[in-house]
Amino acid sequence: MADKDGRGPSIWDVFVKTPGRIPGNATGEVTVDQYHRYQDDIRLMEFLNFDAYRFSISWSRIFPNGTGEVNPKGVAYYNRLIDAMIARGITPYANLFHYDLPQALEEEFGGWRSPKVVKAFADFADFCFKTYGDRVKNWMTMNEPRVVAALGYDTGFFAPGRCSKPIGNCTTGNSATEPYIVAHHLILSHAAAVHRYRERYQAKQHGRIGILLDFVWYEPLTRGLTDQYAAQRARDFHIGWFLHPIVYGEYPKTMQEIVGDRLPKFTKREIKIVKASMDFLGVNHYTSYYIKHPSQPEKDIGYQNDWQVEFVYEKNGVPIGERANSDWLYDVPWGIYKAVTYIKERYGNPTMILSENGMDDPGSLKLPQALFDTTRINYYRSYLKELKKAIDDGANVTGYFAWSLVDNFEWRLGYTARFGIVYVNFNTLKRWPKMSAYWFKNLLEKNRSLH
């Protein structure tokens, strides 16, 4: 219930209200109403043998204006949610930011475009550590900050919908500079929150803190050097943009060379705070693409164009994988092996959690056929096999989260995509576990009996 019990609006609440933006003009106001149905959902997790649940804390539910006054009803809700999980043996994994910046901060100082956001985010994080950290031992600062910067400020496809005119259809913004400024502030905000946690809470709460980064695997289309370099640029601009500063204290060299003066620089003090600012890394991985060197250079300057690559989805007429409902999502199991191994080799094998992985069916699917999601089972089975292979080969992966428990509001796709292993009727909000849910239940049962 997005507008109930004192929650302030986020930039997404405002963004989705533009007519025609979301299919059927759907909004995320009610979605699956976990706010009122969390007990049922947690019972369901217990029934399915899940031992961990990743959830996000809505910044504007705690601080309706982003800073200042606290909303006690919002605070109480997350206390109930966390306690209910622990009571049923489910470990809470709390994420602090999932695309939903308080609208008040966007209006007050331009949100992520302003350095003022760093303190605001650190204060919000600090409040959460203090309030919930006695029970929450696994913290994530943000989910997919790259998506926030790229889709929010380069293409304008996500909130707050800013971009240069030739690149997207935005009324305001600058695709050449804003994505980089925003990413810089996201990294500094993440680091400031981690710094607060380590300085004030970690020693007595004995928890850990990390960040969730999305990573598509980019495979060179040919063995030619230009395609190899193109694929490496894509990886640098994608995961390297955030992971490189956290591991090495600077942006990838390719980015520094291509973006030049448009790329902000970290001060010495900032490098100290940013470098090594994670106890673990969450990797959100769904799909892989082929990459080739572009046939002609882009004329418009923007983050995506700076990559100087061309995306290819088939090779010699053979698609890279079966396509799911989403046009960006191909089923490419070998990609998860390569993505995880790449992080292991390039970034010092950090402790990793596979924090998102899954596929979607069309939103129009009705009962009962929606429950027979054998394609999803095959997807999970083949990806988990490849993930296990990466672990056997030394990748330090300690956990896995499927996306998602229930069908929900999928950002710009609204209700036209179903990622859940549990089917939701969006009119009655009744839940039905799909075959994939039972597949996980059995897998976890077997796993338990082995240990």
SS3 121: helix
The amino acid at residue 310 is E
List the beta strands (DSSP E) in 33-134.
52-56, 91-95
Contacts 24+ apart (CB under 8 A), 19-25: 21/412, 22/412, 22/413, 22/414, 23/413, 23/414, 23/415, 23/416, 24/414, 24/415, 24/416
Catalytic residue, chosen from 178, 219, 270, 356, is 356
Using alpha carbons, select from 293, 305, 283 the residue that is nearest to residue 387.
Answer: 283
Give the C-alpha separation, 254 to 393, whole Å: 29
Are the C-beta atoms of residues 49 and 440 closer than 8 Å to each other?
Answer: yes
Using alpha carbons, select from 79, 82, 2 the residue that is nearest to residue 42.
Answer: 82
- CA end-to-end span of the chain, whole Å? 40
Contacts 24+ apart (CB under 8 A), 266-269: 266/184
CA atoms within 13 A on the CB side of 378: 10
**Residue 168 has which token pair?**
């997207």
Using alpha carbons, select from 237, 217, 382 the residue that is nearest to residue 288.
Answer: 217
DSSP state of 200: I
Tell me phi and psi for residue 162, to 5 degrees. Answer: -110, 140
Catalytic residue, chosen from 144, 219, 270, 410, is 144
Q: In the chain, helix, strand, coil percent, each to 5?
A: 45, 15, 40
356 noted as active-site residue: yes
DSSP state of 7: P
Whose tokens are 């980015």? That residue is 255
298 noted as active-site residue: no
Contacts 24+ apart (CB under 8 A), 75-81: 75/131, 77/5, 77/35, 78/131, 78/132, 79/131, 79/132, 80/38, 81/38, 81/55
Give the C-alpha separation, 290 to 319, whole Å: 10
User: 260 burial class (0-12, 13-18, 19+ CB within 10 angstroms)?
Assistant: exposed
Tell me which residues are annotated as active site: 144, 356
